Structure 1
Amino acid sequence: MPSLVDREDQPYVGYRATVGFDGLREVAHRLAVIAGALGERGVTPAGAPFFRYLVLGPGMSSLTVEAGVPVAAPVELGEDYVDDVVPGGKYVKATHRGAPDGLAAAAAEVLEWGAAEGVRWDRSQAADGEHWTGRLEVYRTDPRVEPDATKWETDLYFRLVD
């Protein structure tokens, strides 16, 4: 069952790309690159890595996403990477337990629940698709520690209109 939570602004370093579903794995690999670059600079991540969904193209034909790692303060990693902030505010949170291939269905369940509850998501519609202010998958399980994907936990966050 989803719950309402308050989140503070969260600075992060990320990699942004517009891809099809088949390109998500390549974007996900950037998380390790970002974590390594932070480690080289002596910066400890301020939380679990995540995907931030910015634009969902018409019919999910394309996705503009960011693979991000939270940091306590902005960090410059170079032109391929962005420093940004996931905005704080009221979010709906749900936890998916299992492999990543179940995340789309888990997100759909949250959106259906929100529709039934009359929730107003912080999103807008444009010609290029659905723009989200705060839609995240936070990967709480480190696959190097727990290789069994059926045991992975991912928190889904969807920002509400203020």
Structure 2
Amino acid sequence: MTQRLFEGQKVEIKEEKPYIAIPVEMEILDRGEIAALVEEVYSWLKRRKIEPAGQPFCRYWVMGGVEEKFSLEVGIPVERMISGDERIVASFIPGGSYAFAVHKGTTEYLDDTSYALEKWAEDEGLELDKRYEGETEIWNGRFEFFEYQTNEGSHDQSDIVEVAFLLMRDIAA
């Protein structure tokens, strides 16, 4: 019996939001490394006395696999656009309509939730915002937003992840 680890597939409107992030390429998706990068971004913000303005996230540009590396950014929203540096980039979470689901449980099964959301969107006739460069599929808005609990300066990841895929065009929620 398969345990359902996600709930509430729906379309949700998100406002454009600035963020800072560390861009990375990985051959294998390493959640431990992602958590360490989240801590690095929090530290970068703290040194500059800038408050986060939302949940930390991964923005996937290319979903890796057998022949390609994962290309992603590990970031945190901020209230206004700020400059990065040699390690940190600044960008925007695109505003628009997103296919959205909440994953509950270990991140070991997070790929199952992403696949189920993608399948649900397809079944609903929703077009996901992605393009191709040669054989490479590039996503314009594929996100995993992590709920973190702050405990005396540390940021511990909980078992709740919001998965969101930008849709090709806005639709009413």
TM-score, L = length of structure 2: 0.83
Per-residue deviation at 1:73? 1.2
Instruction: Deviation per CA, 1:111-158: give whole Å up to 9, x if none.
Output: 1111211110001122352111111000013385896x7x61110000
Relative to structure 1, the CA distance from residue 65 to residue 146 in structure 2 (aligned partners, 3 Å threshold; closer, same or farther) is closer
Paired amino acid for 1:43 = I
Structural mapping, 1:34-49, within 5 Å? 34-49=41-56
Relative to structure 1, the CA distance from residue 92 to residue 135 in structure 2 (aligned partners, 3 Å threshold; closer, same or farther) is same
- The count of aligned residue pairs is 160
Partner of 2:93: 86
Instruction: Deviation per CA, 1:54-102: give whole Å up to 9, x if none.
Output: 1124657311010001001123342111001011000011000011111
Relative to structure 1, the CA distance from residue 18 to residue 127 in structure 2 (aligned partners, 3 Å threshold; closer, same or farther) is farther
Which of 116, 131, 138 is the equivalent residue of 1:109?
116
Q: Gaps (5+ residues) in structure 1?
A: none
Per-residue deviation at 1:24? 4.8
Paired amino acid for 1:62 = K
Find out whether 1:13 has 2:20 as its counterpart. yes
Answer 1 or 2: which has greater helix percent.
1
Answer yes or no: is the 8 Å Cα contact 1:13–1:83 preserved in 2: yes
Q: Gaps (5+ residues) in structure 2?
A: 1-7
- Return the alpha-carbon distance in structure 2 between the equivalents of residues 68 and 146 of structure 1: 14
Report sequence identity in percent: 26
Which of 61, 67, 79 is the equivalent residue of 2:68?
61
TM-score, L = length of structure 1: 0.88
Partner of 2:163: 156
How large is the RMSD of aligned CA atoms in angstroms? Answer: 2.2
Which of 109, 124, 136 is the equivalent residue of 2:143?
136
Paired amino acid for 1:99 = T
Paired amino acid for 1:124 = R
